[in-house]
Amino acid sequence: MGVVLTLLGLFVLSKAIGDNASSELTMLEEPSGYIETTEIEVFQVLKEGSLARTKEKESDGVFVGPIVLLLDETGSHYDNEIIKIERGKKLQQVGVYKYASHINPVNTVPAVRITE
């Protein structure tokens, strides 16, 4: 019985910590640099946008580049979706996104939009 109560207590504590984890999106006054990539893979959809990993030019179908928060007005992305960046378009940094994960207490990534 004690083991069950301990496990239940740990579960409730982990949910409370996870639910209180804060995220913060800070928009830049002016858009800044670009991130060179031809594709990104969404790994988590959030209310602020979609966290995605970029594909490095040298990689062969493996998404090993930096993580970004893709801001998209359509909001119709899903986990594991691969988004191709059309020729002539780029990812432009328009902000900074801070969030907590189970692995790292604070992660900071560029917030980007697909622009021409």
> What are the residue ranges spanned by the domains of the chain?
23-115
Task: Specify the range with the lowest mean pLDDT, choosing from 14-28, 38-52, 55-69.
Answer: 14-28
Q: Does residue 1 or residue 15 have the better pLDDT?
A: 1
Q: Does residue 12 or residue 81 have the better pLDDT?
A: 81
Task: Judge whether residue 22 has pLDDT over 80.
Answer: no
Query: Cβ contacts of residue 52 below 8 Å, gap of 6+?
Result: 40, 41, 42, 43, 67, 68, 69, 70, 83
pLDDT in tens, 63-115: 888 999 999 877 689 999 999 999 999 999 999 999 988 888 899 999 999 99
pLDDT in tens, 95-108: 999 998 888 889 99
Predicted TM-score (pTM) of the model is: 0.75
Q: Residues in the chain, how many?
A: 116
In this predicted structure, what is the pLDDT of residue 56? 76
